[in-house]
Amino acid sequence: MHRTKVRVVEDALDANNTIARANRDDFDRHGVTVVNLMSAPGAGKTTLLERVLGHHGLEGVRTGVLEGDVQGSLDADRLAALHIPVTQLNTDNGFGGDCHLDANMVRSAIPNLPLGDIELLVVENVGNLVCPAEFRIGEDAKAMVCSVTEGEDKPLKYPLMFRTCELVVVNKIDLLEHLDFDLDKFLYNLDAVNPGVATILVSAKAGDGVDAFRSWLAAIPERRQAAAAPAGI
Amino acid sequence: MHRTKVRVVEDALDANNTIARANRDDFDRHGVTVVNLMSAPGAGKTTLLERVLGHHGLEGVRTGVLEGDVQGSLDADRLAALHIPVTQLNTDNGFGGDCHLDANMVRSAIPNLPLGDIELLVVENVGNLVCPAEFRIGEDAKAMVCSVTEGEDKPLKYPLMFRTCELVVVNKIDLLEHLDFDLDKFLYNLDAVNPGVATILVSAKAGDGVDAFRSWLAAIPERRQAAAAPAGI
């Protein structure tokens, strides 16, 4: 019974990877770099994106957002108000809705993405620390936001999520003085599951660290080109 | 394609409900009432359980905990330190792990539960606001913890979770003065998806509301007996 289940999951992930590669080909054809941004519910992904994409935008990098939610378009509406091209993708299928984006869902949204007009696409995944980490969507980079209100133990409890990301944004540091959160312990736990991973300490509310995250995001397309060049693509 | 997918999901939920009924029969046979406690990661389920189950325990109600996690036994270890019978259930299957408990996972844990020694079993589900709400496990009641740090919009973004619970514990209210969180707006959004649902405002850290949650939990077995009595069970 368990063996059968595992095989089905493997098949599903194989199929997902095939579609993720097709997405990647489409993004590449348009020269669009894709960042898959993940977190638990309420960690502050949207507020952070408002901060880095609002005002003067992303250091001249034309950016769009694909907004993944179970239901509704609350976050998409917040970002669209900043005059950023935003596409909503809802995972609600009549039951509770899917708890993550997969490659096929992203594929279904591609005709609605302004790929000719942007250089960077930020995909705001569904708030969840488990399944979003399991499904590639054709992204160039995975990053996550973790709020200090969630506790120091989260890297140990959701290791795949923390291991799969190349950047962990530690958000809501303005609340540190009101919490029992031990930042050193969190970073120690993070290093245990993903040694040497990049981190940025941020308060999306107060503004600390927002510039560093903006620069990280803005540099992704350049890094992608540099990585692609030697391969002669 | 989509129609096929929906049918498979329906079949899976049917199978889950069948197993959930079998779990419920086993719990009933032992006179054990079961509460399925859910939340996003880091909302404070474990800290709240430490508060209500520690010291003098649950007003004389013999209580055990079934601890659901992707990996590890951090929360189980915290609760076991209070001399509460705790059983660990890990959903890790070699990939990222399942993001929720389902009836079959709980079924696999039943031989390890001290059903003869307890009256109430609290199942601490995996931290996730989507899938745990979709899978019955044989519980008598579903409750959830939502932290004020997660934002007012969560009932609208994860409606099934908030709709399926008969109690919503609003935790970390000690942080309210440091947040932009609008409690009235949250309660308005909650009422929109689950009109009249019971709420308890809690600070698991400072102790506010903990007694009210303890009383709610302690009353569950009595309520269950009262509900069962007229049916002649």
DSSP state of B58: B
Q: Could you read off the pLDDT of B147-176 as tens digits, one per residue?
A: 999 999 999 999 999 999 999 999 999 999
Q: Could you read off the pLDDT of B115-153 as tens digits, one per residue?
A: 999 999 999 999 999 999 999 999 999 999 999 999 999
Among A residues 61-90, those touching chain B with beta carbons less than 8 Å apart = 69-72, 74-75
Measured between CB atoms, does A4 come within 8 Å of chain B? no
Most distant pair of Cα atoms in chain A: their distance? 55
pLDDT band with cut points at 50, 70 and 90 for residue B1 = very low
> Is B130 within 8 Å of A134 when comparing Cβ atoms?
no
All residues of chain A having their beta carbon less than 8 Å from the beta carbon of residue B161 are 96
> Is B128 within 8 Å of A126 when comparing Cβ atoms?
no
All residues of chain A having their beta carbon less than 8 Å from the beta carbon of residue B75 are 157
pLDDT band with cut points at 50, 70 and 90 for residue A8 = low
For tokens 């031989």, what's the residue?
B111
Q: Give the per-residue pLDDT at A233.
A: 41
| Lowest mean per-residue pLDDT among A135-149, A216-230, B180-194 | A216-230
Q: Is the pLDDT of residue A2 over 60?
A: no
Q: Could you read off the pLDDT of A203-230 as tens digits, one per residue?
A: 999 999 999 999 999 999 988 888 777 6
Q: Which residues contact B65 (CB under 8 A, 6 or more apart)?
A: B49, B53, B76, B79, B84, B85, B86, B87, B121, B122, B123, B124
Q: Minimal CA–CA distance to B171: which of B41, B20, B66?
A: B41
All residues of chain B having their beta carbon less than 8 Å from the beta carbon of residue A131 are 96, 99, 131
Q: Is the pLDDT of residue B36 over 80?
A: yes
Q: Give the per-residue pLDDT at B111.
A: 96
Return the HEC string of chain A: CHHHHHHHHHHHHHHHHHHHHHHHHHHHHCCCEEEEEEECCCCCHHHHHHHHHCCCCECCECEEEEEEECCCCHHHHHHHCCCCCEEEEECCCCCCCCCCCCHHHHHHHHHHCCCCCCCEEEEECCCCCCHHHHCCCCCCEEEEEEEHHHCCCHHHHCHHHHHHCCEEEEECHHHHHHCCCCHHHHHHHHHHHCCCCEEEECCCCCCCCHHHHHHHHHHHHHHHHHHHHHHCC
CB A116 within 8 A of CB B31: no
Q: Is the pLDDT of residue B231 over 60?
A: no
Which pTM does this prediction carry?
A: 0.92
Query: Which of A2, A157, A178 comes nearest B71 by C-beta?
Result: A157
Q: Give the per-residue pLDDT at A13.
A: 80
- For chain A, the C-alpha Rg in angstroms (whole number) is 17
pLDDT above 70: percentage of residues in chain A:
92
